[in-house]
Structures are given as structure tokens and as C-alpha cells.
Structure 1
Amino acid sequence: MAQSRQKSYADLRRKKLEFQVDDHVFLKISPTKGVMRFGFRGKLSLRFLGPFEVLERMGKVAYRLALPPSLLGVYNVFHVSMLRKYIPDPSHVVDYEPLKLRDDLTYEEQPVKIVDKEQEFKRRTIHYVKVQWRNQSVRDATWELEDEMKEKYSYRFEDSSMSSLED
């Protein structure tokens, strides 16, 4: 009885998604950061890649997509829950920089630049740097321990100013 009640609540919130052949969809992927934050991993923020064309429907809830050659190692049939409809907009210009995806559709974020340094607390100063990550805006920059960043990305820290980590 409890399962039935929970299913009815879940069904109310669930959207019925169906795509047609030649529709365009976004594919959900998960980024992983290469840095541990304050001793624990943060949540993965979901991202979408695409748009990709739907080639055919495979059963009730799976679709075959036309993937580019850069995703050759990825199986091209996906569950409907991993897809989001793309609504074409003529003014929408996508600045596409190809990601290096792993087989499990994750990618590692790389630091781009240091936005801010040091964060002072009541009685002591802890050396933190506010890092902007590739494929994310300055608004989504995160505070990281400066020592950990130097250890993991030592090749990116050339001088003492550390204002830019660009290649």
C-alpha cells in the first residue's frame, strides 16, 4: 500500500517525454571536479551536451542518437530520463568547445583563473583561492585550499600573482 501511494505521488510529478525521429535533444552528462573540497566531495552539477538528432526509437523509453565522432566510444542508445528536448532558436548561437568525455559520460573540470585570494576569519587567515573552472561562469567559482590547488595543478601556477591559469 505504501509503494502504491509513493508511486502515485511520483507519477504526478513525472513528465511524459516522447521524441520523434529527427527531433533534437540534449544529453545529460555529469562533471567531476579533480579537487576535494574541505575534505569531502561536493554534489555533481548536471550538465547537458548537444543537441543531437534522434535517429530512431528503441522500445518505449529508449532512443538512438546521432553522436559525433568525438563520442565514438559511447554507446548511442539512451534512456528518456537522460534526454531533454531542444527547442531551436535562430538567435541561439552555441559556442561549442568539445569536451574530453570519459566512457561513463563524465569529464574533469580544469581551473581557468584565480578570481580572489585569502579568506580571513576571526583570529587567523587561511590561505584559500577562489577558482573559476572551465565551462563555468565566474559566479560559479569555488573556494579551494591554496596548497591543494598548488599540489594538484602545480604546472598552472607559474608566478606568485596567480591571476590567470590559462594555457
Structure 2
Amino acid sequence: MLIEGDFVLLRVSPYKGIARFGVKEILTPRYIGPFQIIQRVGVVAYRLALPPELSHVYNMLHVSILCECKPDPEAIVQWYDVPIQYDTTYEEVLVQILNRKMKSLRRREIPLVKVLWQHHGVEETTRELEASMEEQYPHMFIS
């Protein structure tokens, strides 16, 4: 249970229209913060002390998008690196295609690409369908 004066992290989700094998939002949610709880409002809402740069985000938030602050500084993404929108999402952008791979199934082969995303490290790369990536980012496939 959270109380006034505790520090929490705010969950922000990547917003992109990419579906990998029919599953949206393949990258794990990221957290920014820590922010201090000013007041508990009702049973499941808290008012946070947000900095002026996040003034466009409403400061009364539901408990489902908050996480108790953990002391590991590497688990926290600094909010000024990520342009956060009103609904606490951010636009995910492809930075680089690292390699290509053919996934062999029983009767067919599927071309996949390993993708590096803008606000994620090398350890958080994902495998995406080459056709869908070429459709969304044609400039990355010119060569």
C-alpha cells in the first residue's frame, strides 16, 4: 500500500502500430521517475508531484500505472529522454536493422529482421517480420 511521501515510478508504454505475430506492444512497459506522492485521492488514485516538463500530464493517476520505487537506477528511464504524450505513451522509432534471419517452419520460411529501437538498448532488440518493417520503414530497406 502506498502512502503520502512515498516515491513511485510512472509507467509509460510504447505506442507503435506494429504487430509481431498478431501481438501488439511487444516491448515491455518502461518506467520513468521517481515522483513523490502528494496525496491519496480515493481508493485507487494518487496525486503526484510532477516536474514542470510533465505539466501536460494530469497529476492524479490510477494505481495501475504506478509502481513502487526500486533502488536500481538502471531500471529507470529518465523522462527527459522520452517525449511523453498526454496519455503517458511515447512514439517508438526504428533506429537500425541489425541482421536478417530466415525462420524455418515445417512447410515455409519466414524472413525476420532484428530491430534496434530508439529508447531501448541492444539487449532489448526484437525480431520482427521483414515485410511489415519494410512497409512501415521503407527508407531502411533501400540498398
**Range of TM-score over shorter length:** 0.7 to 0.9
Deviation at 1:60, TM superposition (A): 4.0
SS, match of residue 64 in structure 1 = strand
Asked if structure 2 preserves the Cα contact closer than 8 Å seen for 1:115 and 1:131, the reply is: yes
Q: Deviations over 1:93-149 (max 9, x none)?
A: 766353222222122221122222131526765432111222333333222232332
- The question of 1:134 aligning with 2:118 is answered yes
Please state how far the C-alpha of 1:20 moved relative to its aligned partner.
Answer: 2.2
Match of 1:148 among 92, 115, 132: 132
Q: How does 1:1-167 map to 2 (within 5 A)?
A: 17-21=1-5, 23-38=6-21, 40-43=22-25, 45-88=28-71, 92=73, 96=78, 97-121=80-104, 126-155=110-139, 157=140, 160=143
Where structure 1 has 5 or more consecutive residues not aligned to the other structure, the ranges are: 1-16, 161-167
TM-score by length of 1: 0.65
Ranges in structure 2 where 5+ consecutive residues have no aligned partner:
none
Describe the superposition over 1:64-108 as per-residue Cα deviations: whole angstroms up to 9, x where unpaired.
11222332221101123322222447xx47663532222221222
Q: Distance in 2 between matches of 1:82 and 1:95?
A: 15
Percent identity at matched positions?
41
Instruction: Give the structure with the higher percent strand.
Output: 2
SS at match of 2:33: strand
Letter in 2 for 1:41: V
Alpha carbons 1:118, 1:125 under 8 Å: kept: no
The 1-side partners of 2:142 and 2:11 are apart by 38
